């Protein structure tokens, strides 16, 4: 677009090609999303949960034998009722907290800092796990179809993660539009499977591969604990319901209306799919089978193992992998709110060139990538950790809304509070059951990670409070007062670089000292020092040259001691201007000694000392612009002067 600086260098041009040109705030609406696009941007995690939610119920019930499978339908009805409560609640969250943040925003406003940190930590863990589980599940389905790809499981996972990351760095709008087609194919495909299966199934006599995993001996009665365990396992189908409330700022105006519409669409579509699949599973007595998922069995019985079966199977695989996008829509917004509240580094609140919270996107990609590598892309290793974080957020947001209604007492507040109270009780029970049944299977990692994140938030917040007091943030400081500056320029020899640095120093002050460190008692150093002093007198730049002698190899220590002495004896602002030669081609950077970095690092901590590096570019032929007119050289210096 006009006004954008043209990228320089091959890497810059390649990166610009990958993520697109910078977006101005005036064009920000281009990357904001509509309700339908919200399904692909923020709801894929919840929608694709139909691939493992019903199966989780059946696997738990199967421990009691085939006679327990009739409970699949009533348990699914209970889960859909909980889904309705959550959709109702998060639509209220969107109304009350349109700035995003979901459970974190509700907890912060109604339950205090401790509960808000717990909600934020749980959501961060859940978002990271969602990315890893979604990608691993999609790649797992791909590897099941093509076993030869098994050795490449982790590289394929990381490749998909890289693709989703780049798409989100381009902007959520482009990502939502790119993922919209597979999302619609998935929704239409599942609804078509359900409709055909209910009206006129085509594959009832199709032979199912694999063998049944139902036990031959089963319990006569199904205990309450088993029912609760099956219910909590099936509640994994509700992960992702909160993402829309977390990402309200990502929608086009009017944001609240569009976000609430997306939440309602998600609830209706997900509820219909869960109920439809449960009815078919109940009607056809679907049980766990080797090498076959529950969804695969239902699809095969509904349409037969025809082209439709393979289209749906491939679509499920693709959309499962893309479901990681839900976290990329939610976590960066959450991280920006945490940074605004001083619980995360402030860099997470900064937008990138594409008006996205790029640092949050990178952090999520790195954490989930490390997790995928750690577990080798194995979904079964990740599943026990899944859903605990999001159900913790569910519980806190429900409790927070109860407090919100009691304190505000709007019309029908008792009804709203009772609905949220019921939701809080149910989600709390599910969370406790998750923890008890999955703790030894790996859930202890979540129990450890959440407090660690909370501790990190507390330490960061404490630092920002201390820094704010020390820097006087929020107070009226005394009037500024200036001091005369003494500029010190370390030099090595008489050269164009030295001239360039002294010219820059003259623009800052009329009192300048050039310093040179010479090794004492060195036969090699004395001829060089004599030559330097002789050439300095011949050049006569109008700046005194101070020789600092040392018996040691370090040139940094004498300079630091000299600067300390100046600070003690002179009531002046000391500015150290370090000359730096910058080759035109980056590959030559390593050929320079980088003494400027060592010296600036040693001086940066000195109070009352300003340290700056002045760079002069030159090409491989040694052309530096020497011999130009004074006006041209001044103009060149103004163009090339780096920010200190």
Cα separation values, 276 from 272, 281, 587, Å: 6, 9, 62
Shared domain check, 630 and 513? yes
pLDDT of residue 463: 92
How many domains is the chain partitioned into structurally? 2
Contact 229, 429 (CB under 8 A): no
* Angle, CA of 576, 515 and 512, to the nearest 5°: 60
- Is the domain of 390 the same as that of 500? no
Do residues 305 and 203 touch, judged by C-beta distance below 8 A?
yes
3-class DSSP string for 342-376: CCCCHHHHCCCCCCCCHHHHHHHHHHHHHHHHHHC
Mapping DSSP to helix (H, G, I), strand (E, B) and coil, where does residue 9 land? Answer: coil
CA 305 – CA 318 distance, rounded (Å): 19
Asked if residue 28 is part of any domain, the answer here is: no
Q: Are residues 428 and 498 in the same domain?
A: no
> What is the arrangement of strands in the sheet containing 512-519, beginning at the earlier edge strand?
545-550, 512-519, 485-490, 573-583, 609-618
DSSP 75-92: HHHHHHHHHHHHHHHHHH
589 located within any domain: yes
Question: Which CATH number do you get for residue 270?
Answer: 1.20.1740.10
State the virtual CA torsion across 53, 59, 61, 63 in degrees, nearest 10: -160
pLDDT score, position 203: 76
Domain final position from 466, 498, 517:
466
Q: Provide CB contacts within 8 A for 563, sequence distance 6+.
A: 488, 574, 576, 603, 606, 609
Q: Let me know if residue 415 belongs to a domain.
A: yes
232: domain range?
Answer: 35-466
| Beta carbons within 8 Å of 461's beta carbon, 6+ residues apart | 341, 342, 343
Q: Mark whether 333 and 461 lie in a shared domain.
A: yes
Domain presence at residue 480: no
Same domain, 406 and 551: no
Domain co-membership, 221 together with 163: yes
pLDDT of amino acid 57: 86
Q: Which of 466, 494, 511 is the last residue of a domain?
A: 466
Whether 29 is in a domain gets the answer no
Helices (H) and strands (E) in the chain, counts: 25, 5
pLDDT at 628: 37
What was the pLDDT predicted at 326? 82
Domain boundary among 466, 495, 530: 466
Strands 545-550 and 512-519: what pairing?
parallel
Is there a single domain that holds both residue 173 and residue 249? yes
What's the rounded Cα separation, in Å, for the pair 364 and 98? Answer: 23
Q: What is the dihedral of CA 560, 562, 567, 572, to 10 degrees?
A: -110
CB of 179 closer than 8 Å to CB of 325 = yes
The verdict on 407 and 545 lying in the same domain is no
State whether 281 and 374 are in the same domain: yes
Q: Is 626 helix (H, G, I), strand (E, B) or coil?
A: coil
Q: What is the pTM of this model?
A: 0.76
Q: Are residues 386 and 452 in the same domain?
A: yes
- 320 and 389 in a single domain? The answer is yes
Whole-number Å distance between alpha carbons of 490 and 506? 14
Residue keyed to tokens 């890893």: 132
Q: Which three-class secondary structure string do you get for 570-599?
A: CCCEEEEEEEEEEECCHHHHHHCCCHHHHH
In a domain? residue 524: yes
Tokens of 524: 């090699």
Q: Which pLDDT belongs to residue 348?
A: 92
CB 577 within 8 A of CB 508: yes
Q: Do both 525 and 401 map to the same domain?
A: no
Assess if residue 244 is contained within a domain.
Answer: yes
Identify whether 27 is part of a domain.
no
Q: What are phi and psi of 579, to 5 degrees?
A: -70, 140
pLDDT at 218: 55
| CATH (domain of 531) | 3.40.50.620
Blockwise average pLDDT, block size 10, the chain, 644 residues: 51 69 62 83 84 83 79 91 89 83 86 92 90 84 73 90 88 77 90 92 74 63 77 82 83 89 93 94 83 81 86 84 82 90 91 81 94 84 77 89 88 87 87 82 85 95 89 80 87 90 91 89 75 91 90 84 90 89 74 78 85 81 44 40 39
- Cα–Cα distances in angstroms (integers) from residue 589 to residues 270, 500, 581, 598, in the given order: 57, 19, 9, 15
Buried b (16+ CB within 10 A) or exposed e, 81-93: ebbebbbbbbbbb
């Amino acid at each position: 677009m006009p006004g954008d600086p043209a990228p320089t260098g091959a890497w810059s041009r390649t990166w610009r090609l990958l993520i697109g040109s910078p977006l101005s705030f005036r064009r920000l609406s281009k990357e904001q999303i509509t309700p339908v696009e919200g399904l692909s941007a923020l709801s894929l995690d919840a929608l694709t949960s139909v691939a493992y939610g019903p199966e989780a119920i059946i696997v738990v019930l199967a421990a009691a034998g085939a006679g327990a499978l009739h409970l699949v339908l009533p348990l699914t009805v209970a889960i859909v009722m909980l889904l309705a409560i959550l959709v109702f609640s998060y639509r209220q969250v969107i109304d009350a907290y349109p700035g995003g943040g979901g459970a974190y925003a509700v907890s912060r406003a109604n339950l205090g800092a401790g509960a808000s940190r717990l909600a934020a930590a749980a959501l961060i863990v859940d978002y990271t796990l969602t990315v890893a589980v979604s990608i691993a599940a999609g790649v797992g389905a791909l590897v099941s179809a093509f076993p030869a790809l098994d050795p490449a499981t982790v590289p394929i996972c990381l490749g998909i993660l890289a693709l989703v990351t780049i798409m989100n760095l381009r902007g959520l709008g482009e990502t939502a539009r790119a993922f919209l087609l597979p999302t619609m194919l998935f929704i239409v495909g599942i609804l078509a499977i359900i409709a055909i299966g209910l009206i006129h199934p085509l594959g009832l006599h199709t032979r199912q591969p694999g063998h049944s995993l139902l036990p031959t001996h089963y319990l006569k009665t199904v205990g309450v604990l088993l029912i609760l365990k099956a219910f909590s396992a099936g509640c994994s189908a509700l992960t992702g319901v909160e993402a829309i409330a977390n990402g309200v700022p990502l929608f086009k105006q009017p944001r609240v209306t569009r976000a609430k519409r997306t939440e309602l669409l998600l609830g209706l579509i997900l509820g219909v799919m869960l109920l439809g699949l449960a009815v078919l599973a109940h009607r056809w007595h679907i049980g766990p089978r080797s090498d076959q998922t529950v969804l695969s069995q239902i699809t095969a019985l509904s349409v037969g193992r025809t082209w439709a079966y393979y289209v749906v199977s491939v679509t499920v695989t693709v959309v499962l992998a893309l479901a990681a996008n839900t976290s990329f829509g939610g976590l960066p917004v959450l991280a920006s709110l945490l940074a605004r509240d001083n619980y995360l580094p402030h860099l997470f609140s900064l937008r990138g060139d594409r008006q996205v919270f790029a640092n949050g996107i990178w952090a999520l990609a790195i954490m989930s990538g490390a997790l995928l590598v750690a577990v080798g892309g194995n979904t079964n290793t990740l599943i026990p950790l899944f859903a605990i974080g999001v159900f913790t957020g569910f519980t806190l947001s429900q409790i927070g809304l109860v407090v919100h209604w009691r304190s505000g007492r709007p019309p029908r507040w008792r009804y709203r509070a009772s609905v949220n109270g019921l939701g809080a009780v149910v989600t709390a029970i599910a969370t406790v059951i998750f923890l008890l049944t999955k703790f030894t299977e790996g859930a202890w990692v979540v129990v450890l990670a959440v407090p660690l994140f909370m501790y990190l938030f507390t330490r960061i917040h404490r630092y920002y409070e201390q820094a704010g007091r020390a820097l006087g943030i929020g107070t009226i400081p005394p009037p500024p007062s200036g001091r005369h500056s003494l500029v010190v320029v370390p030099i090595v020899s008489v050269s164009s670089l030295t001239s360039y640095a002294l010219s820059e120093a003259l623009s800052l002050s009329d009192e300048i000292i050039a310093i040179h460190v010479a090794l004492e008692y060195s036969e090699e150093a004395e001829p060089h020092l004599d030559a330097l002093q002789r050439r300095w007198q011949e050049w006569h730049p109008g700046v005194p040259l101070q020789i600092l002698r040392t018996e040691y190899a370090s040139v940094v220590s004498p300079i630091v001691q000299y600067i300390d002495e100046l600070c003690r004896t002179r009531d002046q602002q000391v500015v150290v201007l370090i000359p730096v030669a910058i080759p035109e081609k980056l590959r030559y950077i390593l050929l320079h000694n980088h003494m400027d970095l060592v010296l600036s690092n040693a001086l940066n901590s000195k109070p009352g000392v300003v340290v700056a590096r002045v760079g002069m570019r030159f090409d491989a032929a040694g052309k530096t612009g020497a011999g130009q007119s004074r006006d041209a050289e001044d103009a060149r210096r103004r163009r090339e002067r780096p920010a200190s």
